């Protein structure tokens, strides 16, 4: 009987090396860190121009990012991504700044998603419970137009009973969103 090679072997997950660390233990860690910086460059490409303007990017990096946005062919894209990674590795303080900005953007996105979920829960409660939920909402937001919202709630309940698309429920959500923004 032949024994399988991978029996009783455990796979150890290694943490991806960070480019800013002082020393690398192996060439593999160097390559992984360089790849992580190249992926950071790809994330720069997905940022909006307004977000990119917050960063103090050098001219050659900004030009490389502009060039990358115009490239459509396969190998040229790979070369340009590598070039952007090289430019980032040459400017290590910029890597830290980019990571901080990405973390900040992620936190903002999560907060906005949580806020929208809260508004969706309010909308669902208003449609299901009616005036009871409206009273609680009025306590939190005294500026609510009670008459307008009651009409929208009745319309949403009627649409739900008839199986129609939730036009009034969307209107309630838009109104709730306008209260805080």
Task: Tell me the pLDDT tens digit for each residue of 13-27.
Answer: 656 556 666 677 788
Q: How far apart are CA 87 and CA 95, in angstroms?
A: 10
Residue 5 lies in a domain: no
- Average pLDDT, rounded, for the chain: 85
Distance CA 95, CA 99 (A): 6
In terms of Cα–Cα distance, which of 58, 64, 67, 63 is closest to 95? 58
Question: Hey, how many other C-beta atoms are within 10 angstroms of the C-beta on 74?
Answer: 8
Does 62 lie in the same domain as 113? no
If one counts every other C-beta atom within 10 angstroms of the C-beta of residue 38, the result is: 18
Three-class DSSP labels, 18-52 = CCCCCCCCCHHHHHHHHHHHHHHHHHHHHCCHHHH
Indicate if 48 and 78 belong to the same structural domain: yes
38-97, pLDDT tens digit by residue?
999 888 888 888 888 888 888 899 999 999 989 888 899 999 999 999 999 888 888 888
Q: Does some domain include residue 18?
A: no
Give the count of domains, the chain. Answer: 2
E strand or H helix that includes residue 152: helix 146-162
CATH of the domain at 55: 1.10.60
Domain limit, last residue, from 55, 90, 125: 90
Rounded to the nearest 10 degrees, how much is the dihedral formed by the CA atoms of 125, 131, 135, 137? Answer: 30
Q: Read off φ and ψ for residue 14, nearest 5 degrees.
A: -105, 145
Name every residue whose Cβ is closer than 8 Å to that of residue 67 and which is 6 or more positions away in sequence: 80
Residue 36 has, within 13 A of its CA and on its CB side, a CA count of: 18
Structural domain containing residue 34: 27-90
Asked whether residue 174 is domain-assigned, the answer is yes
Considering the domain boundaries, does residue 95 fall inside one? no
Quote the CA–CA distance of 81 and 45 in Å, as a whole number: 10
Q: Of 40, 56, 90, which residue constitutes the final position of a domain?
A: 90
Question: Looking at residue 63, what is its pLDDT?
Answer: 92
- Is 21 a member of any domain? no
Do 129 and 85 belong to one domain? no
Rounded percentage of the chain residues whose pLDDT exceeds 90: 24
Across residues 143-147, what is the average pLDDT?
88
Distance set, CA 63 to CA 4, 53, 58, 90, 160 (Å): 53, 13, 9, 16, 53
């Amino acid at each position: 009987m032949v024994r399988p090679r991978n029996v009783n072997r455990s796979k150890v997950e290694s943490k991806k090396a960070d480019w800013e660390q002082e020393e690398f233990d192996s060439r593999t860690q160097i390559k992984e860190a360089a790849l992580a910086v190249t992926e950071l460059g790809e994330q720069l490409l997905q940022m909006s121009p307004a977000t990119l303007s917050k960063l103090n990017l050098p001219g050659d990096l900004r030009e490389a990012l502009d060039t990358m946005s115009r490239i459509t062919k396969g190998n040229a894209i790979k070369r340009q991504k590598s070039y952007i990674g090289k430019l980032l590795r040459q400017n290590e303080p910029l890597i830290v700044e980019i990571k901080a900005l990405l973390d900040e953007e992620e936190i903002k996105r999560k907060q906005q998603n949580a806020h929208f979920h809260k508004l969706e829960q309010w909308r669902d409660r208003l449609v299901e419970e009616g005036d009871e939920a409206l009273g609680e909402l009025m306590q939190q937001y005294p500026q609510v137009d009670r008459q307008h919202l009651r009409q929208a709630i009745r319309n949403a309940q009627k649409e739900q009973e008839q199986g129609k698309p939730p036009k009034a429920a969307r209107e309630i959500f838009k109104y709730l969103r306008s209260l805080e923004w």
